[in-house]
Amino acid sequence: MDVAVRSGPGIFFDGTTGVRHAVSVELDRDALLVRAAEGHLLACWDYGELEPLSAPEGMLRLGRLGSPVLARLEVHDAALAAAIDQMATTVDRSGATERRSRTKVVLWSIAAVVSLVIVTIFGVPLLADRLTPYVPLSFERRLGEAVDKQIRGMLDTDHKGERFECGSGATEQEGLAALKRLGSRLESAASLKVPITLAVLRKPEANAIALPGGRIYIFDGLIKRAETADEVAGVIAHEIGHVAHRDGTRSMLQAAGLSFMLGMVLGDFVGGGAVVIAGRTLLQTSYSREVERHADAFGVELMTRLNADAHALGAILVRIDGSSHPGIKLLLDHPDTRDRLAAIKAAALPKTITPLLSPAEWTALKRICGGP
């Protein structure tokens, strides 16, 4: 580094006596040299060893880092002090090193944010997809229970509380029994590793939703729009497909990001804001076309296994005609809809159909939330 001043006067204390030495300070290439008036060398301090000491305004006072001797040098010449400042980064009276450090911190912070964004956009979905199959089912059920509280609170906008779930009233018991029979038959045929829990909620939308861990909600509006028990069963079979493929868990891992995954590793993934974010994600976003097609295929195969009407899912999708339910769109309003219906029709082979519920049970199920 080039400096304009290479030498100047100073006052030196050797640290062993109280003698004040008038000295000449020279700035060598690698070290600061202190010479007595007679010319002999009193001290040679590397620039990296220089330590600024407390001093009054207009004075640069220096010591030597780690030295057992309390030697010190005082420089009153402003030009010489500035030259020493240039040569020794440990002195930094101008604040240049601190500014450089702050700039580095800012640049590294920006790089860290950019990296985090890249990981969140590209890395988290891939990581979630790879991680989901290894999530223990017991953890997934705990996850479903935690998210369930969030989702019920979001859906129960009228604050019905326990009455939000249908089937508890005296006139609704037969409908609840019919729902349990329908769910039992579907669950038995699906042979899943997690039990299925079905419930009907007092919501007017023609919707349904599957949570991690096997909990499935059907909205009363969907039962009212259905014309047969097999149409309701087809929708439930579709949602069981999401449970079987662990789509809800994968979607929640992707939504809540790295904090949610870290919580899973630490065993406390049901706490904090991650569950709230994940719950909102299930209610507000849609699965991809591929995920929905796989759930359709699972539902059709399950209905076929029970000798039920495998075309029923397609029939109710057409009737809903583009309506969507929170988290999972049963029928997407784009050309892919025709592809899904065509796939359902192709997979649903002609065969003798045995309705999953009797006419009396279907009538009872239609009244599970009360009414005529």
Within a domain: 372: no
Supply the angle between the helices 336-347 and 289-305 in degrees, to the nearest 10. 20
**Same-domain check for residues 55 and 151:** no
Residues 19 and 148 in one domain: no
Asked if 70 and 55 touch (Cβ cutoff 8 Å), the reply is: no
The per-residue DSSP string of 325-368 comes to BTTB-SS-SSTHHHHHHHHHHHHS-------SS-HHHHHHHHTT
Break the chain down into helix, strand, coil percent, rounded to 5: 55, 15, 35
Residue 157 φ/ψ, nearest 5 degrees = -70, -20
Verify that 44 and 173 share a domain, yes or no.
no
Q: Are residues 186 and 51 in the same domain?
A: no
What single letter denotes the amino acid at residue 78? A
Assess whether 172 and 314 both reside in one domain: yes
pLDDT score recorded for residue 357 = 96
| CA gap 293, 160 in Å, rounded | 35
Residue 70 belongs to a domain with what CATH number?
Answer: 2.30.29.30
Q: Transcribe 174-221 into DSSP letters.
A: HHHHHHHHHHHHHHHHHT-SS--EEEEES--SS-EEE-TTSEEEEEHH
Contacts of 133 (CB under 8 A, 6+ apart): 246
Q: Strand 197-201 to strand 208-210: parallel, antiparallel, or no bridges (unpaired)?
A: unpaired
Nearest Cα to Cα of residue 142 among 275, 317, 300, 304 = 275
pLDDT of residue 48: 87
The answer to whether residues 140 and 259 belong to one domain is yes
In a domain, 170, yes or no: yes
Indicate whether 77 and 179 sit together in one domain. Answer: no
Contact status, residue 221 vs residue 165, Cβ threshold 8 Å: no
CA proximity to 302, closest of 224, 188, 204, 199? 188
Asked which of 34, 64, 94 is the last residue of a domain, the reply is 94
Residue 128 domain-assigned (yes or no) = no
The span from the CA of 264 to the CA of 213, in Å, is 15
CA distance 102 to 98: 6
pTM: 0.62
Verify that 252 and 321 share a domain, yes or no: yes
My answer on whether 77 and 150 are in the same domain is: no
Q: Is residue 20 part of a domain?
A: yes
Distance CA 163, CA 125 (A): 38
Q: CA-CA distance, 212 to 144, in Å (whole number)?
A: 5
151 and 30 inside one domain: no
Among 94, 124, 159, residue at a domain's last position? 94
The total of structural domains in the chain comes to 2
Whether residue 63 is found in the same domain as residue 150: no
Judge whether 212 lies within some domain: yes
Domain range for residue 202? 135-366
Per-residue pLDDT, 120: 46
Q: For residue 31, give both structure tokens.
A: 């070290």
Nearest to 279 by CA among 303, 240, 251: 251
121 located within any domain:
no
Same domain, 272 and 222: yes
Among 42, 62, 94, identify where a domain stops.
94
Alpha-carbon gap, residue 231 to 15, rounded angstroms = 96
What is the rounded distance in angstroms from the CA atom of residue 103 to the CA atom of residue 97? 10
pLDDT tens, residue order, the chain (372 aa): 555 668 999 999 988 888 899 999 999 888 999 999 899 999 999 988 898 888 888 899 999 887 777 899 999 999 999 888 888 877 765 555 555 556 667 766 665 555 444 444 444 455 656 677 777 788 788 878 888 888 888 888 888 888 999 998 889 999 999 999 999 999 999 999 889 999 999 999 999 999 888 999 999 999 999 999 999 999 999 999 999 998 888 877 776 655 555 455 445 545 555 555 556 656 655 677 888 889 999 999 999 999 999 999 988 988 886 544 433 344 443 346 677 788 888 887 767 789 999 999 999 999 999 866
